[in-house]
Amino acid sequence: MEVHLMLSWTADLTCTGATGETLWRKQRASCANVTSDQTAFIVKLTSPKATCQPGPSGNMSKDLQPTVDPTKMGLGRSIAVLTSGGDAQGMNAAVRATVRVGIYTGAKVYFVHEGYQGLVDGGENICLATWESVSMMLQLGGTVIGSARCKDFRTREGRMKAACNLVKLGITNLCVIGGDGSLTGANEFRTEWSGLLVDLVRAGKITEEEAKKSSHLNIVGIVGSIDNDFCGTDMTIGTDSALHRIIEVVDAITTTAQSHQRTFILEVMGRHCGYLALVTALACGADWVFIPEMPPDDGWENHLCRRLSDQRARGSRLNVIIVAEGAMCKDGKPITSDQIKKLVTDRLGFDTRTTVLGHVQRGGTPSAFDRILGSRMGVEAVMALLEATPDTPACVVTLSGNHAIRLPLMECVQVTKEVTAAMAQGRFDDAIKLRGKSFENNWNTYKLLAHINPPDAKSNINVAIMNIGAPCAGMNSAVRAAVRMGIIQGHSMLAVHEGFDGLAQGQIEPLTWTSVSGWTGKGGSMLGTKRTLPGKRLEEISQNIAKFNIHALVIIGGFEAYVGGLELVQAREKYEEMCIPIVVIPATVSNNVPGSDFSIGADTALNTITSTCDRIKQSAAGTKRRVFIVETMGGYCGYLATMAGLAAGADAAYIFEEKFDIKDLEANVEHMVEKMKTTVKRGLVLRNESCNSNYTTDFIFNLYSEEGKGIFDCRKNVLGHMQQGGTPTPFDRNFGTKMGAKAVLWLTDKLKECYRHGRIFANTADSACVLGMRKRALTFQPLAELKEDTDFEHRIPKTQWWLKIRPIMKILAKYDIKLDTFEHADMEHVIKKRSFLGK
């Protein structure tokens, strides 16, 4: 284990392990504001028995971080932000966050227009940013400050000009938003900075004093690329939005393809990375996907034609093939859309069309995910710059699970290059692993679901699937994946219609491979769902479990699914029929199921709210001096209100988890009044539907209306059930698919464990679990164990990760708050995570 302790310079610390060795080492303080008489110790205790005691002086402080006033961290510092390389939706969110958080810390922040070219040319290309100058940027695609490919920066002469421009403005902190090429260029710039300054002084371009003041350049990278080809991060800015564009096209093409029984071949971007193609294939249930990381086996032409024919024979009216633009055979020869079209047309005679999506994937409004990702990365980038020392390596801010982390820039670049090398050398399994856990999981799930020939041997196991609670987008993706994975395992899959009522009434029927075709793109619940809990109908439910010989149960739904599963487990003492493995898959717009950081359906609802808020803000901007009060769903859970507030640029978001009173409301109104004195004369306030029984939406609307008389007027919107509808987003389709498949694989293993004396008997706590995403992995947690972390009265988990990022929303709305509750990312290492390279 590792213990991080902040100690004074004079601290005397002795740490001994099981072997009696001293295990401490001194490290420079990683925080720029730690004074010269302080330092940081990282103490690594390598044994569970290791102890850590104060030495003779007894001087030891256990503060994880030094006490800092974040609003003064940047005083006397200057930060420049630029976007480089290909544009990506969400870059503007990162620029906006970098500017506003930089200003919040007291630093000066500069725009660098037109990427590195602007850095070289200087002049008006490098200009001071203000709080208002980044207003109304969130919903815009591309990059407002411009991007350009720059040959000049590749030369030392060009970099000298860039260095001179920065020194003259006193800029020693650079935030670069771009791909691996842009970030590599930034690191080279930093590495030779000292030499550039020497040359500039020698040439008389800058003075010795100027060189001394700018002796060191800090670099932090934010990865902006729709390709998601940068190793070390689960998602790059722009990837999710590009998937939105692709899926919109796929859904549109699907309807016309079904009408004419056509085969469609879609070519998507990604250069030498197959992420977009792979996730698109998962999200739309494609028949085949070509990606550069894993070329098809020899003889793939026969296999492809056989699979397409089998699908048609099963009653499918269309075929979809996804091709990454860098797809190739194992011998390195490219595989093109036209080549595949000719193959299918000549061999099968199918009516075949090709669509090359091109730059439409780069355009359009950024998704809610990309706005939040960009905002979080921008905040973390500023903190990393201001905490950097001359010894801190250039870092890149990335996403792992739902955590923002810092990684050494060149480690990530090195692993990214390793992928290309692995593909060139034919080490395709290594290439998949090097892309990261997320990519590898997607590939493994696709491979499992791509097999459409169920095994000849049946398992004689019946698995029932049901939806519980309110409907949400993505439920059907989970059902489809679970059904097909179950059939692949040899199980018989049963549909339970209308939730627990249907289970009690015997509304149960078999599901086949083709009966769930096309379900990934359908919103709502195809099985039908109700909020009814099983408690009052346990007798009938147990009889039907026995009647239909159900051996395992998949429950897909919201908080009711968790409580219903818990009631079934508690009924095991009385009803032996309930002693079967049970898995609950969280699916609700409210994102309030214990045991999971995310629920299926929440992303779709979040995007619905965000797009609606965009239109509302546009209306307010046109009218001027108007404030909109918007009510969101979520029950007592403030996830939707908080995240939508961050994605839409709200001024406030009222939630149940963060108590507020009339003084807070008064402060918010005063803040709005002050805002109307600036050039940004509009306001957006979100309210979670159950945040406070007295401070209702009408109350808040009336309060703002009364207090804003003569300054601004108010309007209110209650979004209602539109948040539960719509087609699922790519994230919810992909998440649902992986959750459904993983749940059935877990049940299959659990059934083997519970098979005793010729029958299934599961009565242990770990035989009934919630499958949820926790931090960086999908995990199974017993229903009973989650009771301690559940507020049953308000139907929410007691600990919720997203509360840590609420301060970001407030800071970006110009509230004077402290960052003490904000998540703090430490420097990690990407090489250690990929130790298999050395094997």
Which residues are documented as binding site for Mg(2+)?
180
E strand residue ranges, 55-188: 78-83, 108-112, 126-128, 173-178
Q: What DSSP designation does 30 have? A: S
Residue pair 314/239 in contact by the 8 Å Cβ criterion: no
Which residues make up each annotated binding site for substrate?
Answer: 225-227, 262, 269-271, 325, 353, 359-362
Chain-centre distance for alpha carbon 598: 10
Residue for token pair 């940013």: 129
Residue for token pair 């797809």: 327
CA atoms within 13 A on the CB side of 835: 2
Neighbours of 805 (CB within 10 A): 20
Q: How far is CA 838 from each of CA 227, 408, 414, 816, 832, rounded to the nearest angstrom?
A: 27, 19, 14, 49, 10
Three-state secondary-structure class, residue 89 = coil
Dihedral (Cα; 522, 525, 528, 533), 10-degree rounding: 170
Residue pair 638/688 in contact by the 8 Å Cβ criterion: yes
Which residues make up each annotated binding site for ATP?
Answer: 86, 149-150, 179-182
The C-alpha angle with vertex 725 and arms to 724 and 726, in degrees rounded to 5, equals 140
Of 87, 227, 229, 430, catalytic:
227
Which tokens in the block code for residue 280?
A: 């698109």
Three-state secondary-structure class, residue 565 = helix
Q: Which residues pair with 10 in a beta bridge?
A: none
For the question of residue 456 being annotated catalytic, the response is no
Interhelix angle for 475-488 vs 730-753, to 10°? 40
Which residues make up each annotated binding site for beta-D-fructose 2,6-bisphosphate?
Answer: 531, 588-592, 626, 633-635, 689, 715, 721-724, 795
Residue pair 431/418 in contact by the 8 Å Cβ criterion: no
Residue pair 728/736 in contact by the 8 Å Cβ criterion: yes
The C-alpha angle with vertex 586 and arms to 585 and 590, in degrees rounded to 5, equals 165
Interhelix angle for 639-648 vs 602-623, to 10°? 50
Q: How far is CA 496 from each of CA 305, 510, 545, 735, rounded to the nearest angstrom?
A: 35, 9, 11, 22
Nearest CA among 411, 404, 407 for reference residue 396? 407
Which residues make up each annotated binding site?
Answer: 86, 149-150, 179-182, 225-227, 262, 269-271, 325, 353, 359-362, 531, 588-592, 626, 633-635, 689, 715, 721-724, 795
Q: How far is CA 481 from each of CA 390, 449, 548, rounded to the nearest angstrom?
A: 51, 7, 22
Q: How far is CA 139 from each of CA 68, 154, 610, rounded to the nearest angstrom?
A: 33, 33, 9
Q: Which residues pair with 510 in a beta bridge?
A: 494
Nearest CA among 709, 656, 639 for reference residue 402? 639
> H helices within 506-586, ranges in order?
538-547, 559-570
Q: How far is CA 331 from each of CA 325, 421, 492, rounded to the nearest angstrom?
A: 16, 14, 41
Residue pair 688/653 in contact by the 8 Å Cβ criterion: yes
Nearest CA among 227, 149, 225, 162 for reference residue 188? 162
795 backbone dihedrals φ, ψ, rounded to 5°: 60, 50
Which tokens in the block code for residue 425?
A: 């050398």
Angstrom distance (rounded) from CA 307 to CA 321: 11
Q: What DSSP designation does 37 have? A: T
Angstrom distance (rounded) from CA 431 to CA 436: 9
Residue pair 355/249 in contact by the 8 Å Cβ criterion: yes
Interhelix angle for 559-570 vs 538-547, to 10°? 80
Q: Which residues pair with 771 in a beta bridge?
A: 780
- Which residues are designated catalytic? 227
